[in-house]
Copies of this chain bind each other. A is one copy, B any other.
Amino acid sequence: MENRKKQIIDLAIKLVQQKGYVGFSYDDISKQLGVTKASIHYHFEKKEDLGVAITERIAKSFLQNFLLIKKDASVSVEEKLKKFIQVQAERFACTEICPISSLQTDFNSLPDVVQKKIEEVSRLELSIMKDLIAEAQTKGILNDTDDIHSVAVTILSSIKGALLYRRVLGDDILTGVISQINLILRKS
Protein backbone atom coordinates (compact mmCIF):
# COMPACT_ATOMS: atom_id res chain seq x y z
CA MET A 1 0.00 0.00 0.00
CA GLU A 2 1.06 3.54 -0.76
CA ASN A 3 0.14 4.48 2.76
CA ARG A 4 3.18 2.65 4.11
CA LYS A 5 5.35 4.71 1.80
CA LYS A 6 3.95 7.93 3.23
CA GLN A 7 4.39 6.57 6.73
CA ILE A 8 8.07 5.87 6.06
CA ILE A 9 8.70 9.34 4.69
CA ASP A 10 7.00 11.02 7.63
CA LEU A 11 9.02 9.02 10.11
CA ALA A 12 12.23 9.60 8.15
CA ILE A 13 11.72 13.36 8.33
CA LYS A 14 11.29 13.15 12.10
CA LEU A 15 14.46 11.09 12.33
CA VAL A 16 16.34 13.64 10.20
CA GLN A 17 15.22 16.33 12.61
CA GLN A 18 16.34 14.28 15.59
CA LYS A 19 19.50 12.53 14.37
CA GLY A 20 20.38 13.91 10.95
CA TYR A 21 20.59 12.19 7.56
CA VAL A 22 23.85 10.44 8.37
CA GLY A 23 22.65 9.50 11.85
CA PHE A 24 19.41 7.73 11.04
CA SER A 25 19.25 4.20 9.66
CA TYR A 26 16.81 1.83 7.99
CA ASP A 27 16.96 -0.09 11.22
CA ASP A 28 15.52 2.89 13.14
CA ILE A 29 12.62 3.07 10.71
CA SER A 30 11.89 -0.64 10.55
CA LYS A 31 11.89 -0.99 14.33
CA GLN A 32 9.56 1.94 14.87
CA LEU A 33 7.17 0.71 12.18
CA GLY A 34 7.39 -2.89 13.32
CA VAL A 35 8.57 -4.24 9.98
CA THR A 36 11.91 -5.48 8.69
CA LYS A 37 14.69 -3.51 7.08
CA ALA A 38 14.16 -5.43 3.85
CA SER A 39 10.63 -4.13 3.78
CA ILE A 40 11.82 -0.54 3.88
CA HIS A 41 14.26 -1.31 1.10
CA TYR A 42 11.33 -2.51 -1.00
CA HIS A 43 9.75 0.94 -0.85
CA PHE A 44 13.00 2.87 -1.11
CA GLU A 45 15.71 0.71 -2.63
CA LYS A 46 18.54 3.01 -1.58
CA LYS A 47 18.81 5.53 1.20
CA GLU A 48 19.39 8.06 -1.52
CA ASP A 49 15.87 7.40 -2.86
CA LEU A 50 14.42 8.00 0.57
CA GLY A 51 16.51 11.15 0.81
CA VAL A 52 14.96 12.50 -2.37
CA ALA A 53 11.46 11.62 -1.15
CA ILE A 54 12.16 13.40 2.12
CA THR A 55 13.21 16.63 0.46
CA GLU A 56 10.27 16.51 -1.95
CA ARG A 57 7.82 16.13 0.88
CA ILE A 58 9.45 18.97 2.82
CA ALA A 59 9.12 21.24 -0.19
CA LYS A 60 5.53 20.21 -0.79
CA SER A 61 4.28 20.77 2.75
CA PHE A 62 6.22 24.01 2.98
CA LEU A 63 4.58 25.28 -0.19
CA GLN A 64 1.11 24.17 0.88
CA ASN A 65 1.56 25.94 4.18
CA PHE A 66 2.57 29.10 2.37
CA LEU A 67 -0.28 29.05 -0.13
CA LEU A 68 -2.80 28.48 2.64
CA ILE A 69 -1.64 31.62 4.40
CA LYS A 70 -1.06 33.62 1.23
CA LYS A 71 -4.55 33.09 -0.17
CA ASP A 72 -6.31 33.90 3.06
CA ALA A 73 -7.92 37.27 2.32
CA SER A 74 -9.37 37.62 5.81
CA VAL A 75 -6.13 38.78 7.40
CA SER A 76 -3.85 41.72 6.61
CA VAL A 77 -0.48 41.23 4.91
CA GLU A 78 1.29 42.11 8.14
CA GLU A 79 -0.65 39.40 9.92
CA LYS A 80 0.15 36.90 7.18
CA LEU A 81 3.83 37.56 7.56
CA LYS A 82 3.74 37.29 11.34
CA LYS A 83 1.64 34.16 11.17
CA PHE A 84 3.99 32.52 8.69
CA ILE A 85 6.99 33.28 10.89
CA GLN A 86 5.15 31.96 13.91
CA VAL A 87 4.31 28.73 12.12
CA GLN A 88 7.88 28.30 10.88
CA ALA A 89 9.20 28.69 14.38
CA GLU A 90 6.64 26.68 16.27
CA ARG A 91 5.87 23.68 14.15
CA PHE A 92 8.56 21.60 15.82
CA ALA A 93 8.89 20.00 19.23
CA CYS A 94 11.46 21.49 21.59
CA THR A 95 14.28 19.07 20.79
CA GLU A 96 13.60 18.98 17.06
CA ILE A 97 15.31 21.26 14.61
CA CYS A 98 14.24 22.26 11.12
CA PRO A 99 14.76 19.30 8.76
CA ILE A 100 16.21 21.63 6.15
CA SER A 101 18.83 22.86 8.63
CA SER A 102 19.65 19.29 9.48
CA LEU A 103 20.18 18.41 5.83
CA GLN A 104 22.21 21.57 5.26
CA THR A 105 24.48 20.52 8.10
CA ASP A 106 24.95 17.07 6.56
CA PHE A 107 25.23 18.61 3.09
CA ASN A 108 28.72 17.31 2.31
CA SER A 109 27.73 13.75 3.18
CA LEU A 110 24.60 13.74 1.04
CA PRO A 111 24.32 11.97 -2.33
CA ASP A 112 24.44 14.36 -5.29
CA VAL A 113 20.72 14.12 -6.08
CA VAL A 114 19.79 14.99 -2.50
CA GLN A 115 22.23 17.89 -2.49
CA LYS A 116 20.49 19.33 -5.53
CA LYS A 117 17.08 18.92 -3.88
CA ILE A 118 18.26 20.71 -0.75
CA GLU A 119 19.55 23.55 -2.83
CA GLU A 120 16.12 23.83 -4.46
CA VAL A 121 14.23 23.75 -1.17
CA SER A 122 16.54 26.35 0.36
CA ARG A 123 15.94 28.67 -2.56
CA LEU A 124 12.21 28.06 -2.38
CA GLU A 125 12.11 28.88 1.32
CA LEU A 126 13.98 32.11 0.77
CA SER A 127 11.86 33.21 -2.18
CA ILE A 128 8.66 32.57 -0.23
CA MET A 129 9.88 34.62 2.68
CA LYS A 130 10.86 37.41 0.31
CA ASP A 131 7.45 37.30 -1.35
CA LEU A 132 5.66 37.77 1.97
CA ILE A 133 7.99 40.54 3.07
CA ALA A 134 7.70 42.32 -0.28
CA GLU A 135 3.93 42.30 0.05
CA ALA A 136 4.15 43.69 3.57
CA GLN A 137 6.78 46.19 2.48
CA THR A 138 4.28 47.98 0.27
CA LYS A 139 2.37 48.65 3.48
CA GLY A 140 5.38 50.40 4.95
CA ILE A 141 6.12 47.75 7.55
CA LEU A 142 9.86 48.12 7.04
CA ASN A 143 12.33 50.96 7.29
CA ASP A 144 13.56 52.50 4.07
CA THR A 145 17.02 51.42 5.12
CA ASP A 146 16.00 47.77 5.38
CA ASP A 147 16.14 45.79 2.20
CA ILE A 148 13.98 42.79 1.52
CA HIS A 149 16.79 40.34 0.94
CA SER A 150 18.56 41.20 4.19
CA VAL A 151 15.41 41.04 6.26
CA ALA A 152 14.33 37.74 4.69
CA VAL A 153 17.63 35.95 5.21
CA THR A 154 17.92 37.31 8.73
CA ILE A 155 14.46 36.12 9.74
CA LEU A 156 15.01 32.66 8.29
CA SER A 157 18.56 32.30 9.58
CA SER A 158 17.73 33.48 13.08
CA ILE A 159 14.81 31.08 13.44
CA LYS A 160 16.86 28.14 12.20
CA GLY A 161 19.79 29.05 14.41
CA ALA A 162 17.50 29.53 17.40
CA LEU A 163 16.13 26.01 16.98
CA LEU A 164 19.68 24.69 17.28
CA TYR A 165 20.30 26.60 20.51
CA ARG A 166 16.89 25.73 21.88
CA ARG A 167 17.67 22.04 21.62
CA VAL A 168 20.54 22.60 24.03
CA LEU A 169 19.54 25.60 26.15
CA GLY A 170 15.74 25.51 26.16
CA ASP A 171 12.88 27.71 25.05
CA ASP A 172 14.23 31.15 26.03
CA ILE A 173 16.29 31.31 22.86
CA LEU A 174 13.45 30.97 20.41
CA THR A 175 11.12 33.36 22.24
CA GLY A 176 13.92 35.94 22.34
CA VAL A 177 14.44 35.65 18.60
CA ILE A 178 10.73 35.85 17.82
CA SER A 179 10.30 39.01 19.85
CA GLN A 180 13.33 40.59 18.16
CA ILE A 181 11.97 39.71 14.72
CA ASN A 182 8.73 41.40 15.65
CA LEU A 183 10.69 44.51 16.56
CA ILE A 184 12.41 44.50 13.18
CA LEU A 185 9.03 44.31 11.47
CA ARG A 186 7.26 46.83 13.65
CA LYS A 187 9.22 50.02 13.18
CA SER A 188 8.58 51.89 9.97
Contact = CB atoms under 8 A, between A and B. Distances in A.
A76 interface: no
User: How many copies of this chain are found per oligomer?
Assistant: 2
Instruction: Bin the interface of chain A by size.
Output: 35 or more
Contacts of A149: 172, 176
Given A22-B20, A105-B105, A159-B161, A150 B176 contact: yes
Contacts of A156: 161, 165
Interface in A137-188: 143, 145-146, 149-154, 156-162, 164-165, 167-169, 172-173, 176-177, 179-181, 183-184, 187
A164 B95 contact: no
A173 B122 CA distance: 11
A136 interface: no
